[in-house]
Amino acid sequence: MKKIIVAGAGGFIGGHLAKTLKAMGHQVRAVDIKPLTRWYQITPGVENLVLDLKVKENCYQALNGYEEVFNLAADMGGMGFIETHKADCMLSVLINTHLLMAARDLGIQRYFYASSACVYNGEKQTDPNNPGLKEADAYPALAEDGYGWEKLFSERMCRHFREDFGLTTRVARFHNVYGPFGTYDGGREKAPAAICRKVIESELYGKKNIVIWGDGLQTRSFMYIDDCVKGILDIMYSNIIEPLNLGSAEMVSINQLVDYVEEIAKHKLERIYDQDAPKGVRGRNSDNTLIKKNLGWEPSIPLKEGLKKTYDWIKEQMIENKGKDSKKVVFNEF
């Protein structure tokens, strides 16, 4: 049994990770800025702390007496959020900086940092037929403005704390994680959840069309949460010291993503394309050469399979909350 901190545990990925670590028999302390009523999952037997980890003293309080840290805490959301909240996203650098300082001073044995594919050079993401972003493509640096630069800087902080202070750090670059127990409305949701919600709204409220941001030809890959949690644990306890892609290599266009959700719902909609909405890069995919070489594994749950589980969960929530204000404010979520 290990004594493990999950920072950002009130969010989507952090909630799943805390639940998994507890099921494995570890002593888990879950930390998030949100009130407990806003956490997406609360696991019995896990100690829950509500703390703002941008504050240095709170990081020392959270880590005191523990052995390992998984840092998934950040102020972010989908493209609609990060393009309009660049300063808020940048302030998350305080979380990682103060957690690293506390980890160094309190003798933390291992430290995991959740980075993002938004660190990659934007000039390598202008073609929808993206062959896959290799880890080396983060340099020369031209990251997503705001959020991506914060992630890239925090990666370097982890590296230098490892080199200068001997802290064992591991970094994974997440590519679009989705699944149940995540945000699906309120402005911070990612594309899979947003499209599921829009299609379900058409079923519940008789809407005839769906608004798609951009022309629908932009491409992405989407990783189901179970693959993400496995990858986090494998990378944390590996000997890989450099940042590693953690994402599916199954690239689809946004139009194809809508096709899949409509197929699940057995419901076709007229598509309206909003060319003025935030669109992000033109094409992004994960090159999994290194994770396969080093771990003998890569995320492989098919998108259609994961979408079905996600769609069913979101529909259940929306039916339950029909006529209510079900929007949740999510601060610490990827």
Residue 113, H or E segment: strand 110-116
- Token pair in block for residue 330: 């999510």
Rounded Cα–Cα distance for residues 86 and 224 (Å): 26
Amino acid at 103: A
Three-class HEC string of 7-74: ECCCCHHHHHHHHHHHHCCCEEEEEECCCHHHCCCCCCCCEEEECCCCCHHHHHHHHCCCCEEEECCC
Which residues in 144-182 are b (16+ Cβ under 10 Å) and which e? Answer: bebbbbbbbbbbebbbebbeeeebbbbbbbbbbbbbbbb
State the helix-helix crossing angle for 93-106 and 56-63, rounded to 10 degrees.
50
Rounded Cα–Cα distance for residues 4 and 67 (Å): 6
If you count them, how many residues does the chain have?
A: 334
Give the CA angle between residues 233, 239, 240 to the nearest 5°. 85
225 secondary structure, DSSP code: H
Check: CB of residue 163 under 8 Å from CB of residue 104. no
- Token pair in block for residue 185: 């409305």
What are the residue numbers of the active site? 147
Check: CB of residue 14 under 8 Å from CB of residue 8. yes
